[in-house]
Structure formats: structure tokens, C-alpha cells
Amino acid sequence: MRENPAGIANSDMRESAREAVFSFLSWNARPWTLRKPHEAFAPRERRRVKSCAKTSWSDSTPPGKNTPCALQNKAKFVYNIYMSRFCLAALAALLVLSCESAIEAERVPVDLPVVPAAGIETSFTPPAPPPGQSVSPMAVLQAGEFPLWFQFATEGPRRIETIEAASYSAALIPWPHAQHVRFVLAQDDELLLAVNHDGFIRLAPWQGSNDGVAMYRFAGGEFWQQYTVGAFVRPDPGASPVALLYRNDWFLLQDLQPPSPRLWTFDERSAAPRAISLPSLDAFAPEEGWDMNALSQCGDGNWYFRAGRRAIGKGVVMQEVHMLRTDSLEREGVRVTHSEFQAAARPERLDAAPPALREMLAAVFAESGAGLASVVSPEFQTMRYFSEGGSLVHAFYSPNPFLLAATPAGDAVYVRGSSLAGVQQTIRFSLPVLPEGFVYTGIGMVADTVFATWEEQAGFSIGAAGFVAIRPTELNGLEDFGALPDADK
């Protein structure tokens, strides 16, 4: 399916294949008299006919004369032309049938009740919502030493048996229009994923007859499929997470209005995201053409965001851009210069990290040779970046304290720390091996299960994407994944 151009739905691809076959057959049906018989022969064929006939005739004599040899060669030529076209038409028809089969297979709903380490119990009924909630989980994941792979599809995360099944399963399209995990947040003991062109995924500990990790999905529907997720933040330490949608025109100039509403969150009362508002961003109304493609809390503690709108005058697209800063998203921002905006967006220095995290990140950098970390933590309202200069690792920081980090290739390390004694323990392990062209893009932990997001990448494009759940055997002997005796805390 990799040849499927970006933006073509399965039904459109099938109709395009049918039209190609019909137009091909129609072209075959056209009379051969569109060209004169002797014009169908190139000079090389003319020389061949001359030698076959064993007669002498000049170039001024058209080879369409009804000599036996000329008629024989013309008959062979026309026969070969028609046979080659018939074979191509047959191959095209087979392509249509294979598309039909593949599309019908994609439409089969996937039942994801309980996903234990040994496989899927398809007879299990999805658990009832916990007390005080009205949304049931899609599945309860019970990971073991063998990975549980999930790939994003129209109906949400879909279980695949191996990561090799994801190879060549999705078209490579520019990242703003591809379904993949854009951002990860941690809140209390949960992981929260903002999925581009889809909605939210919530991974939370599950206590019941099938203990594991509950997976909830909050689908944004057709509205979310039109726009790109530009940010995923918690406006206040105890606030619900908020995703920002925007119209991305870098790769495709779309005939879309800026999203309205642009801010979305979710809770356990509904399986669909709900719109919210923030005064700082509401000052730039989508109805007036304003779009917003950046929102983040930076190292100085302030919030930075960028608003823009386009206007077309005399055939030229012009952009009006405002870059702003505020100490609270409940208040309107003040304009800053481009250089101030860029300086705030740079990664923070390692010494700006909390002391326990700083010690553990230094150990990870020394262990892996990396020098840049994207860190997700229940203590942070956004994903934060810390740098000493070097390659990237993705990290999850727990205030227990412990740190889990992995390179895009899957080399991982667990670092156990203490607020008094610094780093106490370092364990190296590996995430499951990915096929060529695939990378890991984030890592986190819920209870005793490690989650890592992955993508198939090629330049600025993304193909298949999803996440994996696993309990590495190297970490089996740890209790509470980082919890320390009281005397050590």
C-alpha cells in the first residue's frame, strides 16, 4: 500500500484502480486505424522486414505493400501489441481484486478486550467503568517479557502480532497529516498520549480480576482528522491536559478555516474529547482568521505561544504573525521579538533540572553517549528538554525517584536515584528490535509496564505508527520501579 498517494482514502484508491482498468480497456478498443499501417514500423523494423522479404525496395517504397512478408510481419506486430495489452489489463484487474480484499480486511473490527502477555482473550467482555466513571476501557493490557504491539488505525489502536506486520502497511505521508503520537504527558500514575488525526489515549493502572493497564481512547472524529496537534500541556499543575489543534500548510495548502474550537481536553464522563477555552489564546479568534501553532511552557516558567493569520492579496499569500508570552494562560500575552521567542524555545541546560533528575540524566548521558533528553514527568506541565550537547534520548522521570531512558534505536537504561545519595543503581536493557526505517519516539511507565511509542520515518514523512507495551526481564527484580526504603529517601 506504500504506493497509495497521501490523502487518498481506501474507497478512492479502489475507484481509481477501477477507472484505470476501464480506461485502459477503452484505449485498447480504439481502432488501429489511428495510424497508417506503414507508420507503425520504425526504421529498425523496416530493415527487418526487408531482410525477411529478401527483396530490394527503397525507402521511398512504403512497406505497406501487400507483399507476403510485409503482411506477415505486420500481423505479428499487431498480434504482439494486443497480447501485451491484454496481459497488462489482466494484471490491472488482479490489482483491483487484491485492493478489494485488502480493504475489506481492513474493515474487519478488531476486538480488544483483555490483552494478556500470551495473546488475546476474544471471549472476554470489556470491563465495566470504574466507580465514578462512565467510560469503559478499550482493553486491559497484561504485558510480559514478550511485547504487545499496537498500531494506530481508523478505529484506534489495533493489536498486531509482530512489528514486522507494520512494515509497508501504511503510506508514507508528511508528518502533519499522519496518524502518530505527537506528545506524551504523565499525570499522577498515568500516561496520556495526544494522537495526531485521532484524539487521546489514556493508560492507567487497572485493579480488578484482570490486573494490568487499562487503555482508554477518546476519539476526535472527523474534525480532528482535518488538523494537526500543535501542543499538549497542563495549564496548571492539577489541571486536565489540553491539546491545541491547528491548520498545517507547510506541505499542503489546504482550503480549511482555522480550527474552531482549537483547544480540547477529555475526562471520564464521555468517550469523546470536549472543547475548552483559555483567555490567553481566545484573544485571537479563529473566526477572524487567527490560527495558533505553538504553545509551551519554557525554562523561565513563562508560557510562549505563536498566533498567525494569512491573507491573499494580488495572488500573494501574506502572513501576519504574533509571538507572545504570559506567566499564566488565564491572562492575555504580551508580544515578544522573534529572537526572544527562539531563545525561550531552546533546550534548558542540565543544571536547570531538579537535583535528582540532574544526577540521573548525567548518568544516562555518560552511559549512552547522548547529550539531549526529552523528559516526560508527572512533575512537569509539558515535555521538557535538557541539553549538554549531543544526540537525543527519550526519558521518563518519576519523583520516586527513578529515570527510564531510551535512544531512538531502542538502547535503554534504568537509573535508580535518591535525593540524598545521588545515583544508586543503573541497569541497561533493550527495547524490542524495530525494522529498518522505524524509530522509537518516546517512553514512559505505568505500574510495572514500560510503554514506548514508535514510528516508521522517511525524511519528513511517517508511515505506520503506534506503541509497544512490555515488562523487561532485566527490571523484574525491582519493587515499585524505583521506590526506595524510607531510610534512603
* pLDDT tens, residue by residue, 347-368: 999 999 999 999 999 999 998 8
Q: What is the 3-state secondary structure (H, E, C) of 48-99?
A: HHHHHHCCCCCCCCCCCCCCHHHHHHHHHHHHHHHHHHHHHHHHHHHHHHHH
Residue 320 burial (CB < 10 Å; 0-12/13-18/19+)?
Answer: exposed
Q: Is the pLDDT of residue 48 over 90?
A: no
Q: Which amino acid is at 310?
A: R
Sign of the alpha-carbon dihedral angle for 183, 185, 189, 190 = negative
What's the whole-model pTM score? Answer: 0.73
Torsion of CA 426, 427, 432, 434, to 10 degrees: 40
199 or 80: whose pLDDT is higher?
Answer: 199
Q: Identify the residue whose cell numbers are 467482555.
A: 125
**446/273 Cα distance (integer angstroms):** 22
Average pLDDT over residues 293-320: 84
The residue that leads in pLDDT, 435 or 486, is 435
Lowest mean pLDDT among 28-32, 110-114, 300-304: 28-32
Residue 290 CB neighbours (<10 A):
18
pLDDT-derived band at 91, boundaries 50, 70, 90: low
- Going by C-alpha positions, the residue among 176, 120, 193 that lies closest to residue 383 is 193
Paired sense of beta strands 181-187 and 190-195, if any: antiparallel
Whose grid coordinates read 506541505? 251
How far apart, in whole angstroms, are the C-alpha atoms of residue 151 and residue 179? 10
The mean predicted confidence, pLDDT, of the chain is 77
